[in-house]
A = this chain, B = another copy of it.
Amino acid sequence: MTSRPAPAGKRPPGGPVLQQDVTRALETAFFEELASVGYGKLSIEAVARRAGAGKAAVYRRWPSKQAMTVELASQAALKAVRAPDMGSLHADIAQFIRETMTALSHPLVSRIAPDLLAETARNEELADALLSGIRTPRRENAALVLHRAIERGELPADTDIELGLDFLVSPAYWRLAVIRTPVDDGYVERLTVKIIAAMKA
């Protein structure tokens, strides 16, 4: 989100001049607090307290808990979007899965992501913001991997991209985030082989 109205730092003319170090402290505190109590119980007061700031410092930057969440979560999620290009479909998929698992294993992500996800079922606006800010770009990026494989002739031209994308991430997410079952060393390798077989079928 490169053109958002820049809540921190100097705004064009006449705007308030917020201090960046305070902004950074609030962002850090927000994620820590979100991870430890969840979206529902997250209080602005606790975020400010954890950051060593006053409540007004928060409200000067974001009008509400939801606005703060949408901005910071989208911002953070976008950093992680990148399509691997290792030269072969097998290597690309294995790498993609490994990166997904690494991200989902991060203590902050593993606590925050399911929490925000759950909140989207209850909060239309948050859902729109997060889905269009995270899901769509990530999905488009992953599609690149498949299109490159088609160009290289590793996949047939009529490959079911939609289903392929679902296979690409869902098992990893399922094991790590949903059923919370540990993953063998060879799991990624076996998974990659099966995914390619499924896409070729």
Contacts and interface: CB of A to CB of B under 8 A. Distances in A.
Contacts of A40: 37-41
Contacts of A131: 179-180
Contacts of A201: 193-194, 197-198
Interface in A142-178: 160, 163, 166-167, 169-171, 173-175, 177-178
Given A38-B40, A163-B194, A195-B198, A179 B121 contact: no
Contact of A127 (B38, B180, B195): B180
A41 B166 CA distance: 32
Main secondary structure of the interface of A (DSSP, over half): helix
A108 to B, nearest CB: 11
Contacts of A167: 167, 171, 194, 198
Kindly list the 9 A-B residue pairs having the minimum CB-CB distance in the complex, ordered from nearest.
Answer: A40-B40, A197-B201, A170-B174, A114-B118, A198-B198, A170-B170, A40-B41, A194-B198, A115-B118
Interface of A: 36-41, 110-111, 114-115, 117-122, 127, 131, 135, 139, 160, 163, 166-167, 169-171, 173-175, 177-180, 187, 190-191, 193-195, 197-201
